[in-house]
């Protein structure tokens, strides 16, 4: 791979490429750099030999600075110094453990194309140094190359991931420059196959997913819940209900009873039945799971073993419900014109101690929207408009009471539902309220001084900031156009 350093728009330029210090609390140590800066930025009149000698003379200070940036676990802070080491052929001073740490901090960073380029460049450097990639590093690389950085996958993501899958099992590797590098073959694991199967399923490439599954079984690797749920999901998307039933029978016949009563497996099967018109099967499965959940809650309250073992044997093979089970069930009821029953099921979740997800509220909010887009001049009055408004306002209050985080889809469905029901005041109030929540949540916390915090504290704060859920609620353009029309009409 051709090095793409000039394309990596690092937010913090390397301090060795500019005289401006952008990290004074971290990198400006007078005892280390007061004398070395004059040699790190040599005069253009000096010869290349003198410059090379001065760079190597300041190697201890350079490495001290690199290890200090490495302790932050922030790849944006580490990468400029790593680039400087690469440019001056100083990567030989780094150990296998150093490369492993840089690799780890890169895959922990935000999934972006810039970090993907860093990851692939880092793997090239490790191979040139003769450092073998480990199995977990191959798994992470396949996950990133397979489309982690993009919202929608394309066929080339699967091809690139399969190429890495083949290269990891070869005894030698040929670089783009034609250089042959000897290495130890690395055999894939269940995680490797699960990652590839997931990529194939997202692309609806069922044949490749099944081929990978049979390859896994032929290597005497036991598929896990993630493997079966991915395959069942792909069959549900393709409408292969008989294939889903056949795989479920295989799971039971192979003695995998623990996996057969897994909640994730049942949720995938329920979703597949619901998407293909088998409503009765979905309702029956959900009722069994609710009954099993009730039995499980009663078991936890019992103290005597004799009472615990009195559970019905049939229910021992049924998993308990979770929030995703309710989402599938409520979504099916809404599409089956049973909205009032779906709302009662939502309120029952709160009594059972299961917190609803925002997707459930979005589905119920969207059920109050009309089928057409705009109704600015629609004078037809719904006889149940008042009842629907009260129900919608109660749902909105329930969402705020349960402290479920809204998103952009929430703003669109809720505000549009209020507008379709003719309540412009509530629509504008909900729009302003959700916008204020977005502004409050998107305010970044105040950065603390690096000198007054330990490395462990800084690393923890960095991970919390990097893994925070997207809190910025952006209204859809369609909703903004409609609100502009409402405001213009009222003037």
Burial, 409: exposed, middle or buried (Cβ in 10 Å; 0-12, 13-18, 19+)?
middle
Residue (of 368, 358, 357) closest to 334 by Cα position: 368
Q: Can you tell me which residue has the tokens 């302003």?
A: 432
Residue (of 474, 352, 484, 469) closest to 410 by Cα position: 474
User: What one-character DSSP code corresponds to residue 35?
Assistant: T
Q: At what angle do helices 385-401 and 339-352 cross, to 10 degrees?
A: 20
User: What is the distance, to the nearest Å, from the Cα of residue 335 to the centroid of all Cα atoms in its chain?
Assistant: 28
Residue 422 backbone zone (phi > 0: left; psi -120 to 50: alpha; other: beta): left
Residue pair 53/44 in contact (Cβ under 8 Å)? The answer is no
Structure token digits, residue 195: 């990652």
Give me the long-range contacts of 4-10 (CB less than 8 A, separation at least 24). 4/117, 4/121, 5/83, 5/86, 5/87, 7/117, 8/79, 8/114, 8/117, 8/118, 9/114, 10/76, 10/79, 10/80, 10/114
Residue pair 365/389 in contact (Cβ under 8 Å)? The answer is no
Task: Say how far apart CA 230 and CA 344 lie, in whole Å.
Answer: 31
Task: Say how far apart CA 71 and CA 82 lie, in whole Å.
Answer: 13
Burial, 340: exposed, middle or buried (Cβ in 10 Å; 0-12, 13-18, 19+)?
exposed
User: What one-character DSSP code corresponds to residue 92?
Assistant: G
Residue (of 223, 85, 199) closest to 142 by Cα position: 199
Structure token digits, residue 216: 């896994």
∠ CA 467-454-15, rounded to 5°: 80
The helix or strand, by DSSP H or E, that contains position 349, with its residue range, turns out to be helix 339-352
Residue pair 241/276 in contact (Cβ under 8 Å)? The answer is yes
Max intra-chain CA distance, the chain: 90
Task: Say how far apart CA 491 and CA 400 lie, in whole Å.
Answer: 32
Question: How many other C-beta atoms are found inside a 10 Å radius of the C-beta of residue 489?
Answer: 10
Residue (of 225, 230, 190) closest to 210 by Cα position: 230
Question: How many other C-beta atoms are found inside a 10 Å radius of the C-beta of residue 59?
Answer: 13
Task: Say how far apart CA 363 and CA 327 lie, in whole Å.
Answer: 9
* Angstrom distances, CA of residue 155 to CA of 116, 141, 152, 240, 298: 18, 17, 10, 22, 49
- Residue 461 has a pLDDT of 60
- Residue 454 has a pLDDT of 56
User: What one-character DSSP code corresponds to residue 181?
Assistant: E
Burial, 357: exposed, middle or buried (Cβ in 10 Å; 0-12, 13-18, 19+)?
middle
Task: Say how far apart CA 294 and CA 310 lie, in whole Å.
Answer: 14
Q: Which segments of 59-184 does DSSP mark as H helices, in order?
A: 59-70, 75-87, 96-108, 113-128, 135-143, 155-167
Burial, 8: exposed, middle or buried (Cβ in 10 Å; 0-12, 13-18, 19+)?
middle
Residue 435 backbone zone (phi > 0: left; psi -120 to 50: alpha; other: beta): alpha
- Residue 196 has a pLDDT of 96
Task: Say how far apart CA 135 and CA 139 lie, in whole Å.
Answer: 6
β-strand partners of 182? 172
pLDDT tens over the chain, length 491 residues: 445 443 344 444 444 444 333 333 333 333 333 333 344 434 433 433 444 444 445 788 888 999 999 999 899 999 999 999 999 889 999 999 999 999 999 999 999 999 999 999 999 999 888 888 999 999 999 999 999 999 899 999 999 999 999 999 988 877 666 677 777 899 999 999 999 999 999 999 999 999 999 999 999 999 999 999 999 999 998 888 998 988 888 887 776 767 778 889 999 999 999 999 999 999 999 998 888 877 777 776 665 444 434 443 334 578 888 999 999 999 999 999 999 999 999 999 988 888 999 999 999 999 999 875 544 445 556 678 899 999 999 999 999 999 999 999 999 999 999 999 989 999 999 999 998 875 444 444 555 554 445 555 655 565 555 555 555 788 899 999 999 988 888 77
pTM: 0.74
Task: Say how far apart CA 292 and CA 315 lie, in whole Å.
Answer: 6
**Cβ contacts of residue 134 below 8 Å, gap of 6+?**
100, 186
The helix or strand, by DSSP H or E, that contains position 174, with its residue range, turns out to be strand 172-174
Give me the long-range contacts of 324-328 (CB less than 8 A, separation at least 24). 324/263, 324/267, 324/357, 325/263, 325/266, 325/267, 325/270, 325/286, 325/289, 326/354, 326/356, 326/360, 327/357, 327/359, 327/360, 327/363, 328/267, 328/270, 328/271, 328/274, 328/282, 328/286
- Residue 176 has a pLDDT of 62
Q: Can you tell me which residue has the tokens 């019992």?
A: 302
């Amino acid at each position: 791979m051709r090095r793409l350093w000039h394309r990596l728009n690092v937010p913090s330029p390397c301090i060795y490429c500019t005289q401006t210090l952008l990290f004074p609390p971290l990198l400006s140590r007078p005892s280390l750099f007061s004398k070395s800066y004059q040699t790190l930025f040599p005069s253009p009149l000096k010869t290349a030999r003198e410059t090379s000698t001065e760079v190597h003379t300041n190697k201890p200070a350079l490495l001290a600075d690199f290890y200090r940036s490495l302790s932050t676990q922030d790849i944006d802070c580490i990468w400029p110094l790593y680039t400087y080491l690469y440019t001056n052929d100083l990567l030989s001073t780094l150990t296998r453990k150093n490369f492993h740490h840089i690799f780890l901090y890169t895959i922990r960073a935000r999934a972006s194309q810039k970090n993907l380029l860093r990851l692939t460049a880092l793997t090239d450097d490790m191979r040139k140094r003769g450092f073998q990639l480990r199995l977990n590093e191959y798994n992470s690389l396949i996950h990133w190359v397979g489309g982690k950085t993009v919202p929608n996958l394309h066929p080339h993501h699967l091809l690139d991931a399969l190429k890495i899958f083949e290269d990891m099992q070869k005894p030698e590797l040929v670089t783009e420059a034609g250089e042959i590098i000897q290495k130890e073959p690395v055999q894939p694991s269940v995680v490797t196959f699960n990652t590839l199967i997931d990529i194939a399923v997202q692309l609806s490439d069922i044949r490749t997913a099944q081929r990978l599954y049979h390859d896994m079984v032929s290597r005497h690797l036991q598929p896990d819940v993630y493997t079966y749920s991915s395959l069942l999901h792909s069959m549900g998307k393709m409408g292969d209900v008989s294939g889903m039933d056949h795989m479920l029978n295989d799971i039971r016949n192979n003695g995998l009873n623990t996996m057969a009563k897994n909640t994730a497996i049942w949720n995938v099967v329920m979703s597949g039945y619901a998407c293909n018109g088998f409503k009765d099967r979905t309702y029956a499965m959900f009722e069994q799971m609710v009954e099993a959940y009730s039995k499980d809650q009663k078991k936890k309250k019992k103290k005597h073993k004799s009472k615990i073992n009195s559970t019905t044997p049939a229910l021992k093979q049924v998993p308990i419900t979770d929030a995703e089970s309710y989402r599938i069930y409520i979504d099916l009821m809404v599409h089956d014109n049973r909205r009032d029953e779906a709302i009662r099921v939502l309120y029952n979740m709160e009594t059972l101690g299961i917190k609803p997800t925002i997707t459930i509220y979005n589905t119920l909010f969207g059920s109050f929207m009309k089928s057409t887009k705009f109704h600015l001049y629609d004078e037809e009055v719904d006889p149940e408009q008042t009842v629907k408004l009260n129900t919608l306002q109660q749902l909105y209050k329930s969402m705020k009471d349960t402290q479920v985080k809204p998103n952009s889809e929430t703003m669109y469905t809720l505000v549009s539902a209020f507008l379709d029901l003719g309540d412009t005041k509530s629509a504008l109030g909900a729009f302003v309220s959700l916008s204020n929540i977005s502004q409050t949540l998107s305010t970044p916390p105040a950065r603390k001084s690096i000198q007054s915090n330990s490395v462990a504290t800084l690393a923890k704060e960095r991970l919390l900031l990097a893994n925070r859920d997207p809190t910025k609620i952006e209204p859809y353009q369609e909703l903004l156009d409609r609100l502009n029309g409402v405001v213009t009409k009222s003037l």
